[in-house]
C-alpha cells in the first residue's frame, strides 16, 4: 500500500505545472490593453469566475490567524539525497527542496492546494492583480513591488520571464512539449508587469493557472553562478519563499529554516501559515531504524504508512504515558491511485488483454487480511469516492459525450459497466479461479505453458518481467511485491524483483527502465493541461507523472473534451468518462487505500479546530505549543 501523506504534492504540481513559456522576455510596448474584448481584473483566478474569498479577505477561513510562531518540527524520510535542485533530471535531490520557491499565485509549499478549501480557486501572491480578457487569449500579471529573493534582491517581471524560458530550455521535457504549443509568448511590459499570450484554437481553461503556478527564480543568480536547472546541484535555487535551506548533512538530515528576508509574512494568503521556525527532516536507511528513532524522540511527528505497524507497533513508553498521540484523521480527498503499474510502452504489456491477465495475479483480499491487518479498502476507480467516479453503464450526458468521440471509443464501453477490481480468495495468495481466467486470456494472445511449466510464446520465448523495487520501501509493500512475483512465477512467468538503492531507483523510474513498478498515479479533480502529463500520449514516454507510459487515443480524446468544457457540470461529466476509460485500459492492478491520515506525534502540536477538506496541512498551518514542548524536553522525552 502506498499511502498519501500530509506532505503530499501541491495541486498545481499534481497537474504538472512546473513549466516554461516561449519568447525571449524582452521589453514590449504596452499595447496589451487595446483589445475590445471585455477585461477582467481580479485578486485571483477561477475558470468559472466565482472566487470564494473577496479581494479584502484577511485570511483563509481554516487557519488560526493567531497561531503562534516558533519551534521546530522534526519529520523523517527514507533513502538518500545529494543536492537541492528538485528540477534536475539526474541525481537524487532532497524531496522537499522545491519549498524555497514561490509563484505568481499562492501555493502550499509542503503539499496540498491553496486554498485548501477550494478545488478551482487560485489567489495572487507575488502578483497583486491578474488581468485578462473574457476570451482568455492572454493574461497580464501585475506584480507586487515589495517581493524580494532571499538574498534581499528585488523580484521583477524579468525574473518571471527568465524562469519560464529556463523551464522551457532545461526543465521537464513533458511540460516543455506541452507548453510550446499552448503559450506563444511572454513579454516583460515593465519591471512589475508581465504578459503571457496563448495560442489560438486550443482550450485555455487552465493556462492562466498554469503560468501563474510556475516557480520564479533569480535571473541574476543563475547568470552569476552558471547553475543549470537540468543538472544536479548542492546549491538551492535563489527564490523568494518563506523557508530556505539551513543546516544539512547529505543522506542524514536537512533543516529548512525561516527566511529572515521573507517579504510576505503579513500577506493575507500567509496569515496563520508557515508557523514553524525550523522544519528538520531526518533521513533513515530503513523503516525499522526510522520508527525506533521516533519512539526515542529523535523526531517528533510521524506519518504512518505501514498497516502492520499501525496495528501492532504502537506500544512503547512515550505513547503509553501520554507523551505521544496516535491519531487517525479523516481524509476527505480522493486517494492516490496506488498499485502495481504496467509499463505499457514495453511488449507484451502494450497488449490490454495481457495487462488484464496479469492484474488477475494480484490477490488484494489475501494481501489485505495477511499483510494489511484488514485495515485497507479495495480501490476500483481512479476517482474513488468522488462525484466523478464512473459507476455502472454510461448514461445521460456521459454516454452522449462518449458517443460524440466516435471510433476511438470501444463499442463495449458504451454498454458494459465500468471495470471493477476482481475479487479473490483471501485464504491463499494464488486464486485458482482467477488463474484459469488469466491463462485463457494469455492463450488468446498466443502465450501458453510448455512442458517445463514456462509461459512461452509461439517462438518458445518465456514471458519475463523486470519489477523495479527500491530497498527503502516498507516491509508490507515489499512483501506484497514478493507475493505478486511468486504468483507470476507459479504461472510460469520469469520475474526479476531484485532491490536497488533509492538513487538508482529514482533514475530508473525517470527513464522508465522497468516493466512493472509498485507506485502511484496522481489523482485528478479538474480538467487542466496537466492531465496530458498524467495520461496523454504526446508526453507518455518522458513524463514522470505517467508511470504506465499510457498512449491511448481514447484517453487523449476524452482529455481534449474535458479541456473544452465551460461549466463545472460538463467538466465532471468528462472526468467521469476519463475515469471509465482509464479503468478500461487496465494499466494497473489497484491496491487498497485507507480513507484517513495516520499520524503519531509528541504532544506539543496543535491545529485549527476545523480542518479544510483538501489538505491536512501539518507543515502549513499547524503550530507548536512551546510550553508543552519545553516540558517534554525537560522530562527527557524529546532529544
Same domain, 119 and 267: no
CA–CA–CA angle 606, 609, 610 (5° rounding): 130
pLDDT above 50 for 485: yes
The three cell numbers locating residue 369: 487480511
- pLDDT (tens digit per residue) in 146-165: 999 999 999 999 999 999 99
Residue 52's pLDDT band, with cuts at 50, 70 and 90, is: very high
Spell out the SS3 assignment of 398-415. HHHHHHHCHHHCCHHHHH
Alpha carbon 269 to its chain's center: 22
Q: What is the pLDDT of residue 9?
A: 40
Separation CA 46–CA 204 (nearest Å) = 12
Q: How buried is residue 253: exposed, middle or buried, by Cβ count under 10 Å (0-12/13-18/19+)? A: middle
Average pLDDT over residues 243-250: 96
> Where residue 466 sits, what CATH number does that domain have?
3.10.105.10
Residue 175's pLDDT band, with cuts at 50, 70 and 90, is: low
Same domain, 502 and 584: yes
Question: 467 with 481: CB under 8 angstroms?
Answer: yes
Would you say residue 73 lies in a domain?
no
**Which region among 91-100, 436-445, 537-546, 630-639 has the lowest average model confidence (pLDDT)?**
537-546
pLDDT above 80 for 11: no
Residue 10's pLDDT band, with cuts at 50, 70 and 90, is: very low
Helix, strand, coil % in the chain, rounded to nearest 5: 30, 20, 50
Same domain, 585 and 610: no
95 prior amide bond cis, ω within 30: no
CA–CA–CA angle 528, 532, 534 (5° rounding): 100
Average pLDDT over residues 511-527: 92
Domain closes at, from 166, 198, 225? 225
Same domain, 460 and 508: yes
Q: What is the pLDDT of residue 26?
A: 32
Q: What is the pLDDT of residue 4?
A: 52
Question: 213 with 103: CB under 8 angstroms?
Answer: yes
CA-based radius of gyration for the chain? 25
> Where residue 138 sits, what CATH number does that domain have?
3.40.190.10
Would you say residue 611 lies in a domain?
yes
Same domain, 571 and 629: no
pLDDT above 80 for 293: yes
The three cell numbers locating residue 60: 483563509
358-376 b/e (C-beta count within 10 Å ≥ 16 → b): bbbbbbbbbbbebbbbebb
Would you say residue 66 lies in a domain?
no
Separation CA 360–CA 579 (nearest Å) = 20
pLDDT above 50 for 25: no
Question: 93 with 510: CB under 8 angstroms?
Answer: no
The H or E element that residue 78 is part of is strand 72-78
The CA-to-CA distance between both ends of the chain, in Å, stands at 31
Q: How buried is residue 10: exposed, middle or buried, by Cβ count under 10 Å (0-12/13-18/19+)? A: buried
Closest CA to 295 of 274, 322, 316: 316
Average pLDDT over residues 35-60: 90
Would you say residue 81 lies in a domain?
no
Residue 527's pLDDT band, with cuts at 50, 70 and 90, is: confident
Helix (H, G, I), strand (E, B) or coil at 219: helix
Would you say residue 555 lies in a domain?
yes
Residue 412 CB neighbour total at 10 angstroms? 8
Separation CA 624–CA 260 (nearest Å) = 20
Q: What is the pLDDT of residue 2?
A: 44
Structural domains in the chain (count):
3
The three cell numbers locating residue 495: 520475474
Q: How many residues are present in the chain?
A: 639
Average pLDDT over residues 334-356: 95
Would you say residue 274 lies in a domain?
yes
Share of the chain above pLDDT 90, in %: 77
Same domain, 375 and 496: yes
**Which region among 48-57, 177-186, 346-355, 530-539 has the lowest average model confidence (pLDDT)?**
177-186
**Which region among 10-19, 353-362, 416-425, 579-588 has the lowest average model confidence (pLDDT)?**
10-19
Q: What is the pLDDT of residue 7?
A: 42
φ and ψ at residue 442, rounded to 5 degrees: -65, -40
- pLDDT (tens digit per residue) in 81-98: 999 999 887 888 999 999
Q: How buried is residue 295: exposed, middle or buried, by Cβ count under 10 Å (0-12/13-18/19+)? A: middle
The three cell numbers locating residue 100: 524555497
What distances in angstroms separate CA 402 from CA 52, 95, 141, 390, 440, one per listed residue?
33, 40, 38, 13, 30
Domain that holds residue 431: 337-593
Question: 607 with 621: CB under 8 angstroms?
Answer: yes
Spell out the SS3 assignment of 412-465. HHHHCCCCCCCCCCCCCCCCHHHHHHHHHHHHHCCCEECCCCCEECCCCCECEE
Q: What is the pLDDT of residue 89?
A: 79
Average pLDDT over residues 515-541: 89
Q: Alpha helix locations (H) across 92-212?
A: 157-170, 173-180, 207-212
Would you say residue 639 lies in a domain?
no
pLDDT above 60 for 16: no
Same domain, 401 and 486: yes
Same domain, 548 and 623: no
Same domain, 444 and 559: yes
- pLDDT (tens digit per residue) in 447-480: 999 999 999 999 999 999 999 999 989 889 999 9
Task: Classify residue 63 by its DSSP letter.
Answer: S
CA–CA–CA angle 164, 549, 84 (5° rounding): 45
- pLDDT (tens digit per residue) in 562-616: 998 988 899 999 999 999 999 999 999 999 999 999 999 999 999 999 999 999 9
pLDDT above 90 for 333: no
Question: 483 with 366: CB under 8 angstroms?
Answer: yes
Same domain, 197 and 311: no
Would you say residue 67 lies in a domain?
no
Closest CA to 13 of 141, 117, 111, 124: 111
Q: What is the pLDDT of residue 181?
A: 74
Same domain, 368 and 442: yes
The three cell numbers locating residue 176: 516543455
- pLDDT (tens digit per residue) in 358-400: 999 999 999 999 999 999 999 999 999 899 999 999 999 999 9
Q: What is the pLDDT of residue 14?
A: 37
Same domain, 292 and 252: yes
- pLDDT (tens digit per residue) in 188-223: 999 999 999 998 877 777 889 989 999 999 999 999
Amino acid at each position: 500500500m502506498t499511502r498519501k501523506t500530509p506532505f503530499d504534492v501541491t495541486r498545481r504540481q499534481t497537474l504538472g505545472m512546473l513549466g516554461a513559456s516561449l519568447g525571449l522576455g524582452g521589453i514590449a510596448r504596452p499595447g496589451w490593453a487595446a483589445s475590445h474584448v471585455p477585461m477582467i481584473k481580479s485578486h485571483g483566478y477561477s475558470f468559472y469566475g466565482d472566487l470564494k474569498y473577496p479581494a479584502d479577505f484577511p485570511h483563509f477561513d481554516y487557519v488560526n490567524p493567531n497561531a503562534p510562531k516558533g519551534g521546530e518540527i522534526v519529520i523523517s524520510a527514507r533513502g538518500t539525497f545529494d543536492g537541492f535542485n528538485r528540477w534536475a533530471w539526474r541525481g537524487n535531490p532532497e524531496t522537499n527542496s522545491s519549498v524555497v520557491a514561490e509563484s505568481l499565485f499562492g501555493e502550499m509549499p509542503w503539499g496540498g492546494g491553496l486554498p485548501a478549501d477550494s478545488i478551482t480557486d487560485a489567489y495572487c501572491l507575488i502578483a497583486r492583480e491578474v488581468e485578462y480578457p473574457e476570451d482568455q487569449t492572454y493574461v497580464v500579471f501585475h506584480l507586487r513591488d515589495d517581493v524580494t529573493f532571499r538574498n534581499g534582491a528585488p523580484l521583477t517581471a524579468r525574473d518571471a520571464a527568465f524562469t519560464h524560458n529556463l523551464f522551457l530550455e532545461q526543465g521537464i521535457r513533458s511540460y516543455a512539449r506541452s507548453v510550446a504549443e499552448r503559450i506563444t509568448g511572454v513579454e516583460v511590459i515593465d519591471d512589475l508587469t508581465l504578459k503571457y499570450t496563448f495560442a489560438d484554437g486550443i482550450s485555455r481553461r487552465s493556462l492562466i493557472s498554469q503560468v501563474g503556478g510556475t516557480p520564479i527564480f533569480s535571473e541574476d543568480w543563475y547568470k552569476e553562478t552558471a547553475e543549470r536547472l537540468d543538472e544536479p546541484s548542492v546549491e538551492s535555487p535563489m527564490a523568494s519563499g518563506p523557508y530556505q535551506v539551513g543546516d544539512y548533512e547529505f543522506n542524514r538530515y536537512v533543516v529548512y529554516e525561516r527566511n529572515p528576508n521573507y517579504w510576505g509574512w503579513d500577506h493575507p494568503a500567509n496569515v496563520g501559515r508557515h508557523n514553524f521556525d525550523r522544519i528538520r527532516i531526518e533521513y533513515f536507511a530503513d523503516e525499522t531504524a526510522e520508527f525506533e528513532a521516533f519512539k526515542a524522540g529523535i523526531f517528533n511527528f510521524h506519518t504512518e504508512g505501514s498497516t502492520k505497524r499501525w496495528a501492532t507497533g504502537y506500544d512503547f513508553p512515550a505513547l503509553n504515558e501520554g507523551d505521544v498521540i496516535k491519531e487517525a484523521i479523516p481524509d476527505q480527498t480522493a486517494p492516490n491511485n496506488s498499485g502495481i503499474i504496467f509499463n505499457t510502452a514495453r511488449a507484451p504489456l502494450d497488449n490490454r488483454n495481457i495487462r488484464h491477465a496479469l492484474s488477475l495475479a494480484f490477490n488484494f483480499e489475501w494481501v489485505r487480511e495477511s499483510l494489511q491487518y484488514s485495515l485497507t479498502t479495495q480501490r476500483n476507480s481512479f476517482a474513488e469516492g468522488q462525484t466523478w467516479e464512473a459507476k455502472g453503464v454510461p448514461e445521460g450526458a456521459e454516454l452522449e459525450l462518449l458517443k460524440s468521440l466516435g471510433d476511438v471509443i470501444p463499442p463495449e464501453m458504451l454498454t458494459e459497466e465500468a471495470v471493477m477490481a476482481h475479487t479473490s480468495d483471501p485464504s491463499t495468495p494464488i486464486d485458482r479461479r482467477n488463474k484459469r481466467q488469466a491463462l485463457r486470456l494469455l492463450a488468446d494472445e498466443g502465450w501458453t505453458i510448455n512442458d517445463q511449466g514456462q509461459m512461452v510464446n509461439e517462438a518458445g520465448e518465456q514471458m519475463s518481467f523486470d519489477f523495479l523495487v527500491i530497498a527503502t520501501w516498507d516491509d508490507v509493500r515489499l512483501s506484497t511485491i514478493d507475493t505478486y512475483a511468486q504468483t507470476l512465477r507459479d504461472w510460469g512467468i520469469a520475474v526479476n524483483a531484485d532491490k536497488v538503492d533509492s538513487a538508482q531507483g529514482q533514475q530508473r523510474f525517470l527513464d522508465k527502465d522497468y516493466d512493472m513498478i509498485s507506485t502511484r498515479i496522481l489523482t485528478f479533480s479538474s480538467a487542466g493541461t496537466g492531465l496530458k502529463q498524467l495520461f496523454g500520449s504526446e508526453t507518455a514516454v518522458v513524463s514522470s507523472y505517467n508511470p504506465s507510459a499510457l498512449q491511448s487515443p481514447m484517453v487523449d480524446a476524452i482529455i481534449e473534451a474535458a479541456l473544452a468544457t465551460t461549466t463545472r457540470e460538463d467538466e465532471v461529466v468528462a472526468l467521469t468518462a476519463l475515469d471509465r476509460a482509464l479503468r478500461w485500459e487496465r494499466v494497473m492492478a489497484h491496491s487498497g487505500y485507507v480513507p484517513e491520515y495516520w499520524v503519531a506525534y509528541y504532544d506539543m502540536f496543535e491545529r485549527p479546530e476545523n480542518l479544510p477538506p483538501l489538505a491536512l496541512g501539518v507543515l502549513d498551518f499547524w503550530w507548536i505549543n512551546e510550553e508543552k514542548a519545553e516540558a517534554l524536553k525537560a522530562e527527557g522525552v524529546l532529544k
